[in-house]
Structure 1
Amino acid sequence: MTARLDATPAEGPDPRPGAEAAGAAPTADPLLSCSDLHVTFKGRGSRATARAVDGVDLNLRAGEIVALVGESGCGKTTLARTLLGLEKPTSGRVDFEGKRLGYSTRALKAYRRRVQLVLQDPSGSLNPRHTVYDAVAEGLRIHEGATADESERVAEALSRAGLRPPERFFLRYPHELSGGQRQRVVIAGALVLRPEVIVADEPVASLDASVRGEILGLLLRLRDDLGLTALVVTHDLGLAWNIADRVAVMYLGRVVEVGTVEEVLSAPRHPYTQALLSVLPEADVDEPVVLAGEPPDPTMIPGGCRFHARCQVLASGEAERAGVADRCRTEDPGVLRGDGDGATQVACHWARRRDRTETSASA
């Protein structure tokens, strides 16, 4: 696996005048969390119900970056939208600062000022008729109305996002900017409200490789300077390695492995995580794992372990030799705790049996 990027980007934002860096040391209690979260959608013209999020516990502590990774369609964007209050859970709960999220208009407006979204496509999220100044000031006007320090707040946000001198960008339009600059404008639009949490959905997916490192370094600098907490939604495990403190791997509506990025990505325990890592160019494997078929339809989640129909460990006979093949096909491994005591957790009968065997052998 490649080494992490330097936390200081080439065009990283300057700290606030007179402000001390907030640091990234996470606190013990979660800032944002969900417990036993379920989100379902009824299919159009049918009785089928898609279980997009099917039982998830996830905690984000203040000052940490958590990467939520998985294939397209695994439910990670729906989970992120639910944490933002853009989707209402079918059951379960979302908590912020230990209090349950309310869904009244007033409660959501107050919440979204403190928890901001950064979208993956800056071209689609920026109005081509709005100047950079208006794009960044929009959230400020919605949440705080006309303020005497609006131009200073906009300038500060642009500067922190690496667009300096900020006044040079005030009257420019999105089409006059590069892709990396547009993404920085989107980030500035989130920063102008001085949020405590940002949720970034594939924040560098639409950018050239040469620009991705700058944006990832910017997010790290914002965490270190401002103490921002971030949930980064991505299908790219390489990105997770470079930016995250912890990683949660999601498959078919549920988190199947969670732990520190070093533990999960250096020594993956779930066969799904192993398969995702095996296809990275820097992976130290003889040959990549090719998963059979496509992820199951979320309206027809299989019994037992939801990964068993595609599992290379079950197909190879390893699960049978470990004595857990029947459990893989019939017994649900269950919902993982939010982050428990910090140890890596895995929803896999084979991995858990192997852990017990290794523990007994070393005792």
Structure 2
Amino acid sequence: MTETLQTPEVSKNARALLSADQLHVTFPGRRGAAEARAVDGVDLDIAPGEIVALVGESGCGKTSLARTLLGLEKPTTGKVTFAGKPLDYASKALKSYRKRVQLVLQDPSGSLNPRHTVYDAVAEGLRIHGYTGDEREAVSNALSRAGLRPPERFFLRYPHELSGGQRQRVVIAGALVLDPELIVADEPVASLDASVRGEILALLLRLRDELGLSALVVTHDLGLAWNIADRVAVMYLGRIVETGRVEDVLTSPQHPYTQALLSVLPEAPGEPVVLTGEPPDPSRIPGGCRFHARCQVLADGRADEAGVADACRTVDLPVLTGAATSQVACHWAAAGAEDSGDSR
């Protein structure tokens, strides 16, 4: 049965704004050690106006993937495509690309220079890119879009004079001032109080609706993904192991890793799944399913009952396609789908 495991036949999304195609990113090992496979075969598409949440625990490779999509890391193999064209790594081309794809970091205090006023922080991108229009008007519009109104009231303030939520809005305004088509938000509300998290998430959704802005939201928080994303991609040890519409993945997770992540949410039914051990070293990725050493389904005998335990330990799984369909890389989930007649 394990020999017939198939990758879903889905063509690449022709409408994708940003795509990763068979992306691999490796880093040299220390003192002659094996290289670390931070991103180990990823296909991912983000359509215009779509918000995709990239979810996984620390060390799974999601930040390395995000940096590669931004052009901050060059892939070892594979390619990044934006608006139908492969990413050009020449400095002039990257500068143009980064005007269209902007980064929003998780810590607004660390993102903002304490010696710069709000006006200078937002205007910095315009000056780097040689903006020739009305700088004051552009800064004012960006601050207004980010919810800081009236914007003139904030021009001469310094970061220490703002609340955490206001600082994050300034960071978002600094990205918006260049009229990007896509933002990559790395844990955009992780450092904020619960009282303002919802406000920032609502702002990102409003920007998508009003500006047609696309976003990749990198997070370990499945609750955030539920509240903001159209699709979710769950990453483990360098690969996406489950992807699909956020409603499908988070209400009916197929991969044991996704199930474990969801089980620890406060509102989750039943007992939380406690994974044993730490994620394997990315320089020594195990054979078979890369999750098998920590998998609760293998540990409790359900994989044996489905007849896939040996495959879990020895047979590699395919890279999921980047298309916007529900997919899972799991021998046990595939066996369950076959038994139920599901064509997943």
Please give the range of the TM-score, normalised by the shorter of the 2 chains.
Answer: over 0.9
Q: Distance in 2 between matches of 1:44 and 1:175?
A: 40
Alignment of 1:142-221 (within 5 A): 142-145=128-131, 147-221=132-206
* Corresponding letter in the other structure for 1:296: P
List gaps (5 residues or longer) in structure 2: 1-12
Deviation at 1:46, TM superposition (A): 2.6
Task: Identify the residue that residue 332 of structure 1 maps to in structure 2.
Answer: 316
1:47 to partner: Cα distance: 2.8
Secondary structure of 1:332 counterpart: coil
Matched, 1:355 2:337: yes
Query: Alignment partner of 1:273: what SS?
Result: helix
Deviations 1:107-156 (A, max 9, x none): 100100000000001100100000000000000110124x3410000000
Q: How does 1:2-21 map to 2 (within 5 A)?
A: none
Q: Which residue does 1:249 correspond to in 2?
A: 234
Give the whole-Å Cα distance in 1 for the aligned partners of 2:71 and 2:106: 18
Q: Which runs of 5+ in 1 are unaligned?
A: 1-26
1:1-363 mapped onto 2 (5 Å cutoff):
29-145=15-131, 147-284=132-269, 286-339=270-323, 342-359=324-341
- Structure 2: how far apart are the matches of 1:29 and 1:356? 31
Aligned length: 331
Deviations 1:201-230 (A, max 9, x none): 000000000010000000000000000000
- Once the two structures are superposed, what CA deviation does each residue of 1:261-291 show, in whole Å capped at 9, x if it has no partner? 000000000000000000000112x200000
Query: What is the alpha-carbon distance in structure 2 between the residues aligned to residue 178 and residue 270 of structure 1?
Result: 39
SS in 1 for 2:30: coil
TM-score, normalisation: structure 1: 0.90
Please give the root-mean-square deviation of Cα atoms over the aligned residues, in Å: 1.1
Stretches (4+) displaced over 4 A: none
Corresponding residue SS for 1:57: strand
Measure, in 1, the Cα distance between the counterparts of 2:56 and 2:33: 27
Deviation of 1:28 (Å)? 5.6
Instruction: Give the whole-Å Cα distance in 1 for the aligned partners of 2:213 and 2:225.
Output: 17
Which residue identity is paired with 1:218?
L
Amino acid at match of 1:205: A
What whole-Å deviation, never above 9, does each CA across 1:52-99 have from its counterpart, x for those lacking one? 000000000000000000000100000000000000000000000111
- TM-score, normalised to structure 2, is 0.95
TM-superposed CA distance for 1:29, in Å, is 1.0
Deviation by residue 1:282-306 (Cα, 9 ceiling, x = unmatched): 112x200000101001111000000
2:10 aligns with none
Q: CA deviation at 1:320?
A: 0.6
Kindly state the Cα deviation for residue 343 of structure 1 after the two structures are TM-superposed.
2.6
Question: Once the two structures are aligned, what percentage of the paired residues are identical?
Answer: 78
Q: Kindly provide the amino acid, as one letter, of the partner of residue 168 in structure 2.
A: Q
Shift of 1:48: 1.9
